[in-house]
Every structure is written in structure tokens, then in C-alpha cells.
Amino acid sequence: MIKPVILWTDALVFLLVGIVVVFAFYARRHEHLRAPWREVVRGRIAVASLVVLAFYTLTGLLDSVHYRKALPMQDGQVEVQYGGEVFSLLDALLGDVGSQVEKTYSAPFAYTLYTRETVVDENGVQKRIFPRLKYGGAHLDDPATQRGADIAARSLAALWQALAFMLVLTLLLSLWLAGRWRLSPARALRRLLRGDSDVPWRTALFTIFLFALLAALIVNLASAWHVLGTDKVGKDVLYQTLKSVRTGLVIGTLTTLIMLPFAVTLGMMAGYFRGWVDDVIQYLYTTLNSIPGVLLIAASVLMMQVYMDTHPELFETMAERADLRLLFLCLILGITSWTGLCRLLRGETLKLRELDYVQAANAFGVARRVILVRHLLPNLMHLVLIAVVIDFSGLVLAEAVLSYVGVGVDPTTMSWGNMINRARLEMAREPMVWWSLLAAFSFMFTLVLAANLFSDAVRDAFDPRLRR
Amino acid sequence: MLAYIARRLLYAVPILIGVNLITFVLFFVVNSPDDVARMHLGMKHVTPEAIEKWKEEHGYDQPLLYNADEQGVAKLTDTIFFEKSVKLFAFDFGSSDAGRDIGDDISQRMWPSLAIAVPTLLLGLLVHISFAMLLAFFRGTYLDLSGVVLTVILMSISGLFYIIGGQYLFSKVLHLVPISGYEPGWQAWRFVLLPVLIGVFSGLGSSGRWYRTIFLEEIGRDYVRTARAKGVPELKLLFTHVLQNAMVPILTGVVAVLPLLFMGSLIMESFFGIPGLGSYTIEAIQTQDFAIVRAMVFLGSVLYIIGLLLTDLSYTLVDPRIRLS
């Protein structure tokens, strides 16, 4: 028995997915929107980074479907009780990795703890040994000799799975392309593999293969080994890193979702109406802008923390509390980051409102509301889109810094910032513990790099100033 | 000119009032002083007397906006709003929740902040501009392309990684400089060196890329083509004509952040244990010392507004086409 749970951020994430789907359908039917997107997906780098982003998004979406498990029924109990812990589909996919907690640090693919412990053996003699892990490699009798073979066997199985998946995918794709190119499937496949297509399908397939292999490796290996080791309290690092993906994506996207309505409305109003409206809006964003961002965020988060501490009755589960804090963080980040886009839109509207077609609409007596929405807004959308994709990577990086300062997400939320914060003293340990930091930094780096490359492609395609 | 400056200064007043109001609402209205007192005293087993005592000790025992018990002007001045917020305008920061004088702390701790921030800025400008110049000189070649790829990669790495990695490499493995700490006076260079280098390096990606765009934009202009047609050698062209004109956006960008150098860098100072204003703020955030955070918010806004003013002035100084109006 499970009970679905919809957290606030889940609802917003699915709202965002809905918006993107609707926009995609809208853009399909409008040539002026299709053309730049077609240009974006022609670049190899852009396609590869799009695939990377898609895999991250998939992980994040799987992790956004939450539920609570029913507790075992007691005698005489009528109603089903649900546990306080909230799980997600990603947890279900990964199996029991999240609950396989060791005692403390263990290295990647280790079968013993990282530190020695004093153990009393059956003869009553005290010994200092590295004790076996409870879960990592526990299925082997003699891991010292069997470990390599076990990992190889599992990796090979993952390789076969990924290859089989790719085979099916490639065939399906060539069937589809055969229909589009009006070729026989065999010739379409050959053309696909030659890399002779507008959209670089071969690059896309190769990137998908890499990530499918990675996913298969994780699913095959994570149940038996701690692939990226465990942290100080013995939790699996890989599991934490994967769960952090959602936090990063939520901060990168929801912040913009929250701030966009403000930035667009106010920016357009300031630019179109001018006069006192412009003065008020300019005053508003200059004032907000003049408070250094980190300090404003810190002050707001501190105040929110006090509020949450003094009103504990508002939250049913820990997850809800942490989730609300995440949402508030997005809100606060949104408040501090809308000013730049607002100023940009104001300037652009000032320019557009003097153009002939707007003047003509004015002369025809078109309502100002209609001019704003139908004539000005579509011509500002490219700026909005560019701002959204550019902000994304900055926000993902900012999360880590804020969590380090102590004003980021809730300490119980898994995020790269929290992982780095907890692990920052581990480099100074003897012997050094490097895997937590490496995992967090490399997952974050991959996401941000893909986002940066993709946003470059989007900007090149959409910015009319750059168009030749 | 003087009239212009005076008008700009006047324009700053309502903004500062706005900032002041925002901080007041954030710190005193969202949570009442009672809540704050309860949090400082620990959530459980707090008696109302203890809360009153804490509030009295820290000067939070007055009404928020209007004191009906007092006479005359004191009705307005014996309030939290006047004591804690209005006095900020006179740079009277009061004392922190831990009982120290914030103004004294700030005047002491800004020097270590400057010792990090100023060299980072100067060295950063030198390095970033040279790097961008190099890419602009070899524009369109593989060197330029790999340079751009490098900047994107550098931009995608978290700033925390540079710090942690730098500390590990230079302090722990190579033992070149101490990991963290500070000493006043000239001995400080050993402690300042690594943060400065890391600060410069971590900015290389974004600044280098931005400067390169500026240079390329400038190279595309007509006067450059004319100069080239007249036979000015490429290097001379870059270093005299292009650099001079490109310095306008670069320097005005720098002028805007000059005043904020006082505030120091939160992350850098706390990682390297530098007793500057950045680590001061972080400590205040972590110990939830709201008086200090409030003072720093106000100070930061003042400095930001000064930066805006300086930017406007420097534009008019550097570019005679812009008139004061």
C-alpha cells in the first residue's frame, strides 16, 4: 500500500513540464519559432548537451513522483498508517541503496570500512582490523579474490543491456527517418550511421549510448557495491548525488518560473507606459538590486528559518518542511534575480514601442492591453528565453555556495551544496577522503557544462543581433 | 558637474530609505522580537521572563513603530524602528547580539578584506585582459577556439572546487603556503597569496570570455579597418587603438565594484580563515546574529549606490560623447 504525496515543488515541476509541452506544440505550428530551434538542433555540441540535459531531467522527474509507504498493520488496527518517510520513483528504481547505511566512510567499491576498528575475535583476542561492510560486497564470500570478477560480470551485463537498448533505439529511429526521408529503412540506417543528416542523429545516439551505459552500470552495480563509496555517516554517495539532481534542477528552473511573471510584466509596463509607472518600477528594482544578493538571500532565509522553527505545527512530515524551504529559497532567489531581466525588457520595450507597427496599432485604437500582449510580448520572448537558459547554470552553481554559507536548502535535503559542505574538511583527513567531493563536483560540472553549451547555442540561434 | 553629483546623491536617498524599510520588515515584522528571543534562548523551556530579559539586554524591548507611553518626540524615537533602523543612516550600527560594537568590528576587519580583494582585482584585470588579448590576436585560429572552450569549461566549474582544489594542491601536497589563517602587517602575504591566485583563476572563465567579446566587437569597427589600411602593425593596433577603446566598458564595470571591495568575499575569507568582513558576515549568519547581518545589508547597499554613482561619473569622464543630463 502506498499513498501518493504531491509536494509543492512537485506540483510546480509538473506545471513547468506542462508549460514546456504546450510551448513545444505552439512552436511547432509557428515557423518563426521553429526556425531558430531547428538551427539549435543542427549543432553537434548543442544536441549532445541536450541529451545530457534530458537525462538529468529524467532523473529529476523520476525523483519528483513521491509517495509514502504504509506501515505494517498492528493487531486491532483499522485504519492504515503511513510512514513519515517520503520516497520517490527514483528510490524504487535504485532498490535499497538509500537504506543501505554503513557505519562510516568506505571507499568506492570497497568491501571493508575505511577506518580500522578494534574487534574481539572468538578467542577473546583484541585485533585492529578493517571490518567488512554490511552491504557493500556482502554477497561475496571472499571479496579479495572475487571482487574484480564480480564487478566485471556486472559491468558486462550492463554493457549488453545498453547495447540492446541502443540497437532497438537505432532501428526505431531509422524506421522513423525512413518515413521522413522517403528511403528504405536499410538505406536510412546507413545514412544515419554515416552521419549524413541535418540533425546530427549519430551524435545524439552516441551520447544516449554513453548515458544509457552509465544508467545500466548504476542499476547493476549499485545494489551490490557502494559505487562511489559512503560518507561519514555511512550513506551511499552515489545515491545522494543522484537525489541531488532534482534539487539542482528545481532551483535552476523554478526560480525562473517564479520570477518570470514579475520581470516580464513590470519590465514591459515600465517600458510601455513610461512616466510615473516607469519611475516606480525603476525605483523598485534599483532598491532591490542595491542590496548585495547574498546578503538579501541570507537575511530572508534566516528569517524564514526562524518562522519555521517557531511554527513547527505547519508541517506534517520532514520532507514537507524541507520541500517548503526549497520552494522559499527559489522564491527568494527569484526576488533577487528578476531585476536584470526586468531592466533588459524595459529597454527593449522602450525601443519597440516607437516602431511603426506599434504606432499603427495605436492609431487604429487597439487597446493597450492587446498591444502589450499581442504585439510586444512575442517580440520580447527571445530575450526571455535567452535569460532563462543563461540563468539556469548560474543558479545551479549558486545553490552550492548558498548551502555552504548555511542559507541554502534544508540540511536534510540532498543537494550538491550540502554534500560539498559536509565533505569540505575531508581533503584534510589522513588518509584523504575524496569521493564525496568528486561525485558532487563532477555531477554538477556535467550539468552546468551541458547547460552552458546549450545556452550558447540557444543564444546564437535566437539573438537577432548575432544573426547573419 | 557638481549639480549633477548633487542630484545623483539626492536620488540615492529614497533608495536607501527603501533598503532600510525592507530590512526593517525582514528583521522585525516577519518575526517578532519575541520569536527571535525565543530562538536565541533555545526553543524549549523558555519562560516569558527570560524573553523579556533578553529583549531588554539587547534593546528590543520597545514597540516597533510608535511608543504611546512616551512624551513628545520620544513617541517616535523610543522605538525599535528609530533605534535599530533610522540610526543606520548615521552609520551608527549599534552593538551585535553578542554585545560587541559593530562599528568597531567593521573598521578593524575591513583591512584584511581589502588585503585580499584589491590584489585580486588588480592582478585579475591584468591576467584576464592579457588572456583575452591573446585570444583576440589569434582570433579564428585553433588557439582561439581552444581558448573559448577552456573558458566555457572554467565557467562550468563550481567556485568551491577552485578553493578546495587549490588548498589541497598548494597547501597540503606542495606545502608552499599555509592552508588558512592571517597575520597583520607585511607578514600577511603568505596568507594572502593563495586566495588571490585562486580568485584570479576562478574569474578567468567568465571575465576572459567577456573581454574577448568586447575586443572582437572593437576589432570589427571601421576605425580599426582604417588603421590597418594605413599599415599600422597588428600588435600596435591591438595594444593602442583597440585596448584603449575597449577599456571603457571594462573600467566602468570595475568602478562599479570598487566600493564593494570593502565587503570582502564571503566564501574566500571563510575558507581561508581571513578575519575580514566577509567571514564576519558568515559568522553572523551562522550564529544568527541578526544585528550584524542587518548592518552588513545596509552597508552593502550604501557601497553599491556609491558604485553606481562612480560608474556614471566615470562614463562621463572616459567618454566625452556622454553628456550629463
CA A224, A226, A231, A237 torsion-angle sign: negative
Phi, psi dihedrals of residue A132, rounded to the nearest 5°: -65, 150
Which candidate in A45, A251, A281, A287 is best for mutational testing of the B interface (most B CBs within 10 A)?
A: A287
From the list A295, A303, A428, the residue facing B172 with the nearest CB is A428
pLDDT of residue B72: 67
Q: CA of A8, closest CA in chain B: separation in Å?
A: 22
Which candidate in A290, A336, A343, A422 is best for mutational testing of the B interface (most B CBs within 10 A)?
A: A290
Name the fold adopted by A240-462.
MetI-like fold (1.10.3720)
**Separation between Cα atoms, residue B119 and residue B265, nearest integer Å:** 13
Contact B50, B118 (CB under 8 A): no
Q: Are strands A66-70 and A2-5 parallel, antiparallel or unpaired?
A: antiparallel
A18: exposed, middle or buried (Cβ count in 10 Å: 0-12, 13-18, 19+): exposed
From the list B18, B157, B285, the residue facing A287 with the nearest CB is B18
Q: CA of B241, closest CA in chain A: separation in Å?
A: 24
Reading the block at residue B206, the C-alpha cell is 567568465
The answer to whether B167 contacts A302, with C-beta atoms less than 8 Å apart, is no
Using alpha carbons, list the distances in angstroms from residue B167 to B154, B160, B194: 18, 11, 8
Q: Is the pLDDT of residue B213 over 80?
A: yes
The answer to whether B19 contacts A291, with C-beta atoms less than 8 Å apart, is yes
Q: CA of B71, closest CA in chain A: separation in Å?
A: 33
pLDDT of residue A468: 44
Q: CA of B160, closest CA in chain A: separation in Å?
A: 7
Measured from the Cβ of residue A12, the count of other Cβ atoms closer than 10 Å reads 18
The average pLDDT across B80-108 equals 77
Q: From B308, which residue of chain A is nearest by alpha-carbon distance?
A: A290
User: Comparing A245 with B248, which gets the higher pLDDT?
Assistant: A245
Residues of A within 8 A of B43 (CB-CB) are 309-310
Q: Is the pLDDT of residue B123 over 90?
A: yes
From the list A291, A404, A424, the residue facing B22 with the nearest CB is A291
What is the DSSP track for B2-44? HHHHHHHHHHHHHHHHHHHHHHHIIIIISS-HHHHHHHHT-SS
- Can you give the pLDDT of all 468 residues of chain A as single tens digits? 788 888 888 899 999 999 999 988 988 888 888 888 888 888 889 999 999 999 999 999 999 988 888 887 777 777 777 777 788 888 888 877 777 888 788 888 888 888 777 877 777 788 787 877 777 777 777 877 888 888 898 999 999 999 999 999 999 998 898 888 888 888 888 888 888 788 888 899 999 999 999 999 988 888 888 888 888 888 888 999 999 999 999 999 999 888 899 899 999 999 998 889 999 999 998 888 888 888 888 888 888 888 887 777 777 777 788 888 899 899 989 888 888 899 999 999 998 888 898 889 989 988 888 888 888 888 888 888 888 888 898 899 999 888 888 888 888 888 998 888 888 777 777 777 888 889 999 999 999 999 999 998 888 888 766 554
Q: Is the pLDDT of residue B324 over 60?
A: no
The answer to whether B30 contacts A291, with C-beta atoms less than 8 Å apart, is no
Which candidate in B21, B23, B39, B160 is best for mutational testing of the A interface (most A CBs within 10 A)?
A: B160
Contact A228, A244 (CB under 8 A): no
From the list A288, A404, A428, the residue facing B160 with the nearest CB is A404
Using alpha carbons, list the distances in angstroms from residue A212 to A26, A43, A58, A165, A209: 30, 22, 12, 8, 5
pLDDT digits (tens, 9 = 90+) for B193-210: 899 999 999 999 999 999
- Please tell me if residue B257 touches chain A, with a CB cutoff of 8 Å: no
Secondary structure of B130-171 as H, E, C letters: HHHHHHHHCCCCHHHHHHHHHHHHHHHCCHHHHHHHHHHHHH
The answer to whether B285 contacts A406, with C-beta atoms less than 8 Å apart, is yes
Using alpha carbons, list the distances in angstroms from residue A239 to A147, A229, A243: 21, 10, 6
**Separation between Cα atoms, residue A254 and residue A259, nearest integer Å:** 8
Average pLDDT along chain B: 83
Q: How confident is the model at residue B19 (pLDDT cuts 50, 70, 90)?
A: confident
The answer to whether A309 contacts B260, with C-beta atoms less than 8 Å apart, is no
Q: Is the pLDDT of residue B296 over 60?
A: yes
Contacts for A410 with CB less than 8 Å, ≥ 6 apart: A321, A322, A325, A326
Classify A117 as helix, strand or coil.
strand
pLDDT of residue B44: 65
Q: Which residue type sits at A84?
A: G
Measured from the Cβ of residue A363, the count of other Cβ atoms closer than 10 Å reads 8
Domain chopping of chain A, boundaries: 140-221, 240-462
Q: List the one residue out of A457, A351, A59, A395 whose CA is nearest residue A259.
A: A395
Contact B261, B113 (CB under 8 A): yes
pLDDT digits (tens, 9 = 90+) for B128-181: 999 999 999 898 899 999 999 999 999 999 888 999 888 888 888 888 888 777
**Separation between Cα atoms, residue A169 and residue A208, nearest integer Å:** 10
- What is the total residue count of chain B? 325
Reading the block at residue A94, the C-alpha cell is 535504485
Q: CA of B72, closest CA in chain A: separation in Å?
A: 32
Q: CA of A180, closest CA in chain B: separation in Å?
A: 35
Phi, psi dihedrals of residue A358, rounded to the nearest 5°: -70, -40
User: Comparing B122 with B286, which gets the higher pLDDT?
Assistant: B122
Which candidate in B84, B164, B287 is best for mutational testing of the A interface (most A CBs within 10 A)?
A: B164
Contact B96, B294 (CB under 8 A): no
What ipTM does the predicted assembly reach? 0.85
**CB pairs A-B closer than 8 Å:** 126
- Please tell me if residue B290 touches chain A, with a CB cutoff of 8 Å: yes
**DSSP at A81:** P
From the list A407, A420, A452, the residue facing B285 with the nearest CB is A407
Contact B135, B147 (CB under 8 A): yes
**Range 14-33 of B in CB contact (< 8 A) with A:** 14-15, 18-19, 22-23, 26-27, 30-31
Contact A166, A212 (CB under 8 A): yes
Helical ranges in chain B per DSSP H: 2-24, 33-40, 48-57, 74-77, 80, 102-137, 142-156, 159-166, 189-219, 222-229, 234-236, 243-257, 266-272, 277-286, 290-318
**Separation between Cα atoms, residue A160 and residue A71, nearest integer Å:** 38
Q: From B165, which residue of chain A is nearest by alpha-carbon distance?
A: A427
Contacts for A288 with CB less than 8 Å, ≥ 6 apart: A296, A335, A336, A339, B22
**Separation between Cα atoms, residue A141 and residue B75, nearest integer Å:** 81
User: Comparing B293 with A210, which gets the higher pLDDT?
Assistant: A210
Residue with cell 526571455: A384
Classify A12 as helix, strand or coil.
helix
- Please tell me if residue B295 touches chain A, with a CB cutoff of 8 Å: no
Residues of B within 8 A of A307 (CB-CB) are 30-31, 35
pLDDT of residue B76: 65
pLDDT of residue A165: 94
Q: Are strands A66-70 and A82-88 parallel, antiparallel or unpaired?
A: antiparallel
CA B126, B127, B129, B134 torsion-angle sign: positive
- Please tell me if residue B189 touches chain A, with a CB cutoff of 8 Å: no
Using alpha carbons, list the distances in angstroms from residue A370 to A364, A367, A374: 12, 5, 6
Residues of A within 8 A of B285 (CB-CB) are 298, 302, 405-407
A140: exposed, middle or buried (Cβ count in 10 Å: 0-12, 13-18, 19+): middle
Q: How confident is the model at residue B75 (pLDDT cuts 50, 70, 90)?
A: low
**Separation between Cα atoms, residue B240 and residue B235, nearest integer Å:** 8
Whole-structure pTM value: 0.89
The answer to whether A310 contacts B282, with C-beta atoms less than 8 Å apart, is no
Contacts for A437 with CB less than 8 Å, ≥ 6 apart: A419, A420, A423, A424, A426, A427, B164
Classify A86 as helix, strand or coil.
strand
Phi, psi dihedrals of residue A374, rounded to the nearest 5°: -90, -30
Q: CA of A296, closest CA in chain B: separation in Å?
A: 7
**Separation between Cα atoms, residue A247 and residue A418, nearest integer Å:** 11
From the list B168, B270, B296, the residue facing A427 with the nearest CB is B168
Cis peptide before B48 (omega within 30 of 0): no
